[in-house]
Amino acid sequence: MNDQQRKWRAKDGLYLAMIIVPIVIAILIQILTAPASEGISITGARIFFEIPMPLMPLLITEAQVNSWLIMITIVGVCLFLTNGIHENRGDWRQMASEWIVEKVDGLVTENMDPVFHDSYAPFVAAVLALSAFSSLMSLFGVYPPTSDLNVVGGWAILVFILITKNKLKAGLWYYTKGYLEPIPVMLPMNIISEIATPVSMAFRHFGNVLSGSVISALVAWALAGASSALLGWLPGFLGEIPILRVGLPAILSAYFDVFSGCIQAFIFSMLTMLYISGAYPGDELEARKAKLAQKAAMAK
């Protein structure tokens, strides 16, 4: 057992580096490229460079680079936790990975149709991890990718494609007929409500994370003003230190970054599961199967 553990040590170091190095790179990029500014500035993701493309230039923004780094970190976490898994060995890493897999499997079995139980747990876990890690990146002072509408919009479009794919399971005719129910006049309303699903998913996640960062920035700015008004009479550089900014914004950060970010990640994956499961025409397929069985029985 000890021999086995020793064999994996070099690999473990590599995986640990894979977890930590992307976060450090993101912080370094933030330190090196963020313009020093006084007061508050609420801007979108900064554009690093543009790649010329036929229709319009492809912009490589902060949000994209950060989400790539987060993906590397998540892959590192997965490899680190699952490296050297053995059915008889139970160290903490194996326990942690088993706990994660069990929890996600439980969520999927609880909330989805039985057809999806085998195939959708990895997707839901990926959405959950990506969303939670992205929101938690703001703890390091890095631009969280989820406060860019393009990133969450991309995830919502992915979910929308999956919803449509599952709606098409009962055939194109049944899918088209769904738009004309209960009466054909409702067609525009049905199309709007179909499009509203990804839009509301994206805006909910984006708005929550964005509102957290805006309120944190406003509070930090106001505290700097308050401390210069209260302690500005102190001689020399002592009066210029914004002492009230130390610690107080952290209380807000605990709510907006940690609690709100994790809740939004949970809600996004929960809605993903519910919408995909709700799109599956299970009753119709069951009814067709029953009809076929009846026909076969009649033929006998």
Partner 1 sequence: MLELAIGIILGCCALGAGCAMIAGIGPGIGEGNAVAKACEAIGRQPECKGSVTSTMIMGCAIAETTGIYALVVAILLIFVAPNTLVGVLKAALGL
**Exposed/middle/buried for residue 184 (C-beta within 10 Å: 0-12, 13-18, 19+):** exposed
Q: Which is nearer to partner 1, 23 or 112 (CB)?
A: 112
Q: Whole-number minimum distance, CB 211 to partner 1, in Å?
A: 5
Is 38 among the residues that bind partner 1 (CB under 8 A)?
no
Q: Which is nearer to partner 1, 14 or 218 (CB)?
A: 218
Q: Residue 252 and residue 287: Cα distance in Å, rounded?
A: 53
Q: Residue 33 and residue 222: Cα distance in Å, rounded?
A: 25
Is 135 among the residues that bind partner 1 (CB under 8 A)?
no
Handedness of CA 192, 198, 203, 208 (dihedral sign): positive
Is 288 among the residues that bind partner 1 (CB under 8 A)?
no
Q: Which is nearer to partner 1, 15 or 155 (CB)?
A: 155
Is 278 among the residues that bind partner 1 (CB under 8 A)?
no
Q: Whole-number minimum distance, CB 152 to partner 1, in Å?
A: 12
Nearest 5 degrees, angle CA 17-CA 23-CA 28? Answer: 115
Q: Residue 140 and residue 34: Cα distance in Å, rounded?
A: 14
Residues 6+ apart with CB under 8 A from 287: none
Is 207 among the residues that bind partner 1 (CB under 8 A)?
yes
Q: Which is nearer to partner 1, 41 or 294 (CB)?
A: 41
Is 35 among the residues that bind partner 1 (CB under 8 A)?
no
Q: Which is nearer to partner 1, 119 or 211 (CB)?
A: 211
Coil, strand or helix: which one is 53?
Answer: coil
Is 204 among the residues that bind partner 1 (CB under 8 A)?
yes
End-to-end CA distance of the chain: 63
| Whether 51 contacts 57, CB under 8 Å | yes
Nearest 5 degrees, angle CA 95-CA 265-CA 159? Answer: 110
Looking at residue 168, the DSSP 8-state letter turns out to be: G
Residue from 131, 134, 138, 208 that binds partner 1 (CB under 8 A)? 208
Residue from 61, 66, 67, 264 that binds partner 1 (CB under 8 A)? 264
Is 252 among the residues that bind partner 1 (CB under 8 A)?
no
Q: How many whole angstroms from its chain centre is CA 254?
A: 18
State the number of CA atoms in the 13 A half-sphere of 222 facing the CB.
8
Residue from 4, 176, 200, 294 that binds partner 1 (CB under 8 A)? 200
Q: Which is nearer to partner 1, 158 or 215 (CB)?
A: 215
Q: Whole-number minimum distance, CB 38 to partner 1, in Å?
A: 17
Residue from 15, 123, 143, 206 that binds partner 1 (CB under 8 A)? 206
Q: Whole-number minimum distance, CB 246 to partner 1, in Å?
A: 26
Q: Residue 296 and residue 181: Cα distance in Å, rounded?
A: 31
Count of residues in contact with partner 1, rule CB under 8 A: 15
Q: Which amino acid is at 210?
A: L
Residue from 42, 51, 172, 297 that binds partner 1 (CB under 8 A)? 42
Q: Whole-number minimum distance, CB 279 to partner 1, in Å?
A: 18
CB atoms within 10 A of CB 229: 10
How many residues are present in the chain?
Answer: 300
Q: Which stretch binds partner 1 (CB under 8 A): 67-75, 91-99, 208-216, 289-297?
A: 208-216
Q: Which residues in this chain contact partner 1 in the complex, by CB under 8 A?
A: 42, 200, 203-204, 206-208, 210-211, 214, 263-264, 266-267, 270
